[in-house]
């Protein structure tokens, strides 16, 4: 059931619905009625349009929001390059040039908390594919921060949408469009371009980010599942409008931009958080992972993990995602005559995994820990570690709840993912013995049938196709 034991303070108020057309005003009458850009907006507000898709994108994809604000977003001085030494999105020059493409299975020990940096300076690109300048691909980040962003700083990424998976702590995110409190077991999405400031009401924070350089996240199709379940639309929460007033010109604010993997800064003498009202379908939102309505096998076999997709970002090829965000929530396993953990497999998609809390049921050997990660790249073989295989092969197949108090997730992509210098070396978290600890110790269990039975390679021991009466699923 949803984690609702936190009381949501009054200053965080939400409107519900995924990709819904919302409208919200912090002062009654700030939204124009029946027109988007009147000659003069109410209360002397400026009107501004924020486009998340091309003007001409089909209606089913089009995302935009109309803002009514005290000063337009353009009212700032020119951007200047900022330091790179602390901004680790791009520690060298262009991240996509410094990336290591390697087939090794990789696993990282938990990433450290870092109390010395704020949100902007906490971002570490671990792996990625593509290029934000070409609007293709994705980046995967670890963040670990212990300081509030300066009270007069705001940040945005022009490179992509941030899907933020919080692993530790609480994020208070003041965005242009309103405030969100992101709590344990919640995720949030901040679309490209939206300005925000992160503070940490409960101390240090840590987690993972998928930055999507192309398109936007959608809910997956449900196909034969029908019209509801998995992540339901109404459980996605967008903030209502709220604004600050500081426009007498006496205070200096800094606007920080992530642009092509580099950090830039521009000065302005008024608060960036001055949107009094807005309407549209391009906005930040959050989601409580405990609300996911999980589907699974009630007969036999281990289904594909696509049944656990929370959000997907489609490529141009139908059914193939640039990024799927998949979770492994607490659930019942009841499949009969089945090896219940994931099968050993190789995938044309790449799989980056993280653990928010608890233990992942496919990796019970202890090496995959909360705040750690793993990467199984395109066609890199993987599957349960030896101890998990042993346990699952001999388990009494009663209905069994797995993952209680646990939440693992996967960023799955059709793209081959490269690892940055930081991810491979500088972070010093790569486990050197991942293969040895997981699979190299697996023992052959093969026993040839006795010669009387015979083997001729036709698929069954006696050369005949198994009849239905031999099949344990037909009784």
Backbone angles phi, psi at 207, to 5 degrees: 175, -160
Site membership for ligand OMD, residue 429 (CB under 6 A): no
Comparison of 382 and 429: residue with beta carbon closer to ligand OMD: 382
CB of 374 to Fe ion, least distance (A): 9
Binding-site annotation, residues: 345, 351, 360, 382
- Write out the catalytic residue numbers: 302
- Rounded CA-CA distance 310/297 in Å is 18
CB of 438 to Fe ion, least distance (A): 12
By CB under 6 A, the count of residues binding ligand OMD is 7
- Rounded CA-CA distance 456/378 in Å is 34
Site membership for Fe ion, residue 351 (CB under 5 A): yes
- Rounded CA-CA distance 91/330 in Å is 37
- Rounded CA-CA distance 426/430 in Å is 10
Site membership for ligand OMD, residue 351 (CB under 6 A): yes
Comparison of 238 and 333: residue with beta carbon closer to ligand OMD: 333
Contact 236, 22 (CB under 8 A): no
Query: Which residue sits closest to ligand OMD, CB atoms considered?
Result: 342
* Residue 437 burial (C-beta neighbours within 10 Å; 0-12, 13-18, 19+): middle
Q: Is the dihedral of CA 284, 163, 291, 369 positive or negative?
A: negative
Comparison of 196 and 360: residue with beta carbon closer to Fe ion: 360
Query: Which residue sits closest to Fe ion, CB atoms considered?
Result: 351
Q: Which stretch binds Fe ion (CB under 5 A): 74-82, 177-185, 256-264, 343-351?
A: 343-351
Kindly tell me which residue out of 289, 311, 362, 419 binds ligand OMD, with binding defined by CB under 6 A.
362
CB of 12 to ligand OMD, least distance (A): 34
CB of 140 to ligand OMD, least distance (A): 15
* Residue 460 token pair: 């069954």
Site membership for Fe ion, residue 361 (CB under 5 A): no
Kindly tell me which residue out of 67, 410, 414, 419 binds ligand OMD, with binding defined by CB under 6 A.
410
Comparison of 351 and 361: residue with beta carbon closer to Fe ion: 351
- Rounded CA-CA distance 32/16 in Å is 22
CB of 368 to ligand OMD, least distance (A): 9
Closest CA relative to residue 70, chosen from 189, 298, 306, 241:
241
Site membership for ligand OMD, residue 45 (CB under 6 A): no
Binding-site annotation, residues for homogentisate: 360, 382
Neighbours of 466 (CB within 10 A): 11
Kindly tell me which residue out of 160, 284, 342, 418 binds ligand OMD, with binding defined by CB under 6 A.
342
433 binds, among ligand OMD, Fe ion, none (CB under 5 to 8 A by kind): none
Site membership for ligand OMD, residue 382 (CB under 6 A): yes
Chain centre to alpha carbon of residue 81? 28
Comparison of 271 and 377: residue with beta carbon closer to ligand OMD: 377
Comparison of 158 and 381: residue with beta carbon closer to Fe ion: 381
Comparison of 257 and 326: residue with beta carbon closer to Fe ion: 326
Backbone angles phi, psi at 204, to 5 degrees: -55, 150
Site membership for Fe ion, residue 159 (CB under 5 A): no
Chain centre to alpha carbon of residue 199? 20
DSSP assignment, residue 82? -
Contact 62, 53 (CB under 8 A): yes
CB of 355 to ligand OMD, least distance (A): 11
Neighbours of 10 (CB within 10 A): 6
CB of 351 to ligand OMD, least distance (A): 5
Neighbours of 98 (CB within 10 A): 16
* 282-311 footprint of ligand OMD as x/- string (CB under 6 A): -----------------------x------
Q: Which stretch binds Fe ion (CB under 5 A): 257-265, 322-330, 348-356, 425-433?
A: 348-356
362 binds, among ligand OMD, Fe ion, none (CB under 5 to 8 A by kind): ligand OMD
Contact 348, 414 (CB under 8 A): yes
Contacts from 438-445 at CB under 8 Å and sequence distance 24+?
A: 438/105, 438/363, 438/365, 438/367, 438/382, 438/385, 438/386, 439/381, 439/382, 439/383, 439/385, 439/386, 441/386, 442/386, 442/389
By the criterion CB under 6 A, which residues form the site for ligand OMD?
305, 342, 345, 351, 362, 382, 410
By the criterion CB under 5 A, which residues form the site for Fe ion?
351
């Amino acid at each position: 059931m949803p984690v609702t034991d936190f009381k949501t303070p009054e200053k965080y108020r939400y409107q519900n619905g995924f990709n819904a057309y919302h409208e919200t005003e912090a002062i009654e009458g700030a939204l124009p009625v029946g027109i988007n850009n009147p000659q003069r907006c109410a209360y002397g507000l400026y009107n501004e349009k924020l486009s998340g898709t091309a003007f001409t994108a089909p209606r089913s994809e089009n995302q935009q929001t109309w803002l009514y604000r005290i000063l337009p977003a353009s009212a700032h001085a020119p951007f200047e390059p900022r330091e790179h030494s602390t901004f680790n999105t791009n520690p060298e020059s262009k991240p996509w040039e410094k990336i290591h493409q390697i087939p090794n299975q990789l696993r990282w020990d938990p990433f450290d908390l870092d109390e010395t940096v704020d949100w902007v300076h906490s971002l570490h690109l671990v792996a990625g594919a593509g290029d934000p300048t070409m609007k293709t691909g994705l980046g995967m980040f670890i963040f670990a921060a212990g300081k509030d962003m300066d009270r007069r700083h705001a940040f945005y990424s022009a490179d992509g949408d941030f899907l933020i998976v919080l692993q530790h702590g609480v994020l208070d995110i003041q965005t242009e469009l309103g405030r969100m409190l992101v709590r344990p077991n919640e995720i949030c999405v901040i679309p490209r371009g939206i300005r925000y400031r992160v503070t940490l009401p409960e101390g240090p924070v840590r987690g993972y980010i998928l930055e999507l350089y192309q398109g936007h996240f959608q809910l997956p199709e449900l196909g034969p599942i029908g019209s509801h379940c998995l992540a339901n639309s109404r459980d996605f929460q967008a903030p209502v409008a709220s604004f600050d007033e500081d426009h007498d010109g006496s205070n200096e604010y800094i606007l920080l931009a992530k642009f092509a993997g580099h950090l830039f800064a521009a000065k302005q003498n008024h608060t960036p958080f001055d949107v009094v009202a807005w309407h549209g379908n391009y906005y930040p939102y959050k989601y409580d992972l405990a609300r996911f309505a999980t589907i699974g096998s009630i007969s036999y076999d281990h289904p594909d993990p696509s049944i656990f997709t929370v959000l997907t970002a489609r490529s141009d090829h139908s059914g193939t995602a640039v990024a799927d965000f998949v979770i492994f929530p607490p659930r019942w396993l009841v499949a009969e005559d089945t090896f219940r953990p994931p099968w050993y497999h190789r995938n044309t998609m790449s799989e980056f995994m993280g653990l928010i809390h608890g233990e992942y049921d496919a990796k019970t050997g202890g090496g995959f820990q909360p705040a750690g990660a793993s990467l199984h790249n395109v066609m890199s073989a993987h599957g349960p570690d030896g101890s998990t295989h042993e346990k699952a092969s001999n388990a009494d197949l009663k209905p069994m709840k797995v993952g209680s108090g646990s939440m693992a997730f996967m960023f799955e992509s059709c793209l081959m993912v490269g690892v940055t210098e930081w991810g491979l070396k500088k972070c010093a978290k790569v486990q050197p013995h991942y293969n040895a600890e997981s699979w190299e110790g697996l023992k052959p269990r093969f026993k040839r049938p006795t010669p009387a039975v015979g083997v001729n390679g036709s698929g069954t021991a006696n050369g005949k196709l198994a009849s239905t009466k031999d099949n344990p699923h037909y009784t």
